[in-house]
Amino acid sequence: MLGFEVRQTPYDSGRLILHRDDADDARFALVTGQLGEYSIRGWILGSEGKDDEWWGDPQGGRPAYFVPQSALGEVKSLDRFV
């Protein structure tokens, strides 16, 4: 699969959210910020982000994988895909 799916949060320390039905072979990038000020925090392969350790339902009603930024690949490693 080529390209990336981008997930965004306004929170600088936000986590990348993945759902069980997200493609395992897709690459997911996390972008934080808002109102034109954004930062690419990193990326992960769908299958790698679906780790039971990150499964949760912090708001109640919509469980998902909440991948911490520390688990994401470095932005500079994106060069090999573009």
- The answer to whether residue 82 is domain-embedded is no
- The answer to whether residue 37 is domain-embedded is yes
Structure tokens at 34: 């808002």
Which pLDDT tens digits describe the chain residue by residue (82 residues)? Answer: 457 899 999 999 999 999 999 999 999 999 999 999 999 999 999 999 999 999 999 889 999 999 999 999 987 776 665 5
Place of tokens 């919509």: 62
The Cα–Cα gap between 5 and 22 comes to: 10
Q: pTM of the entire structure?
A: 0.86
State the pLDDT at residue 79: 62
For the chain, the domain total comes to: 1
State the pLDDT at residue 1: 45
- For residue 44, what are the domain limits? 5-77
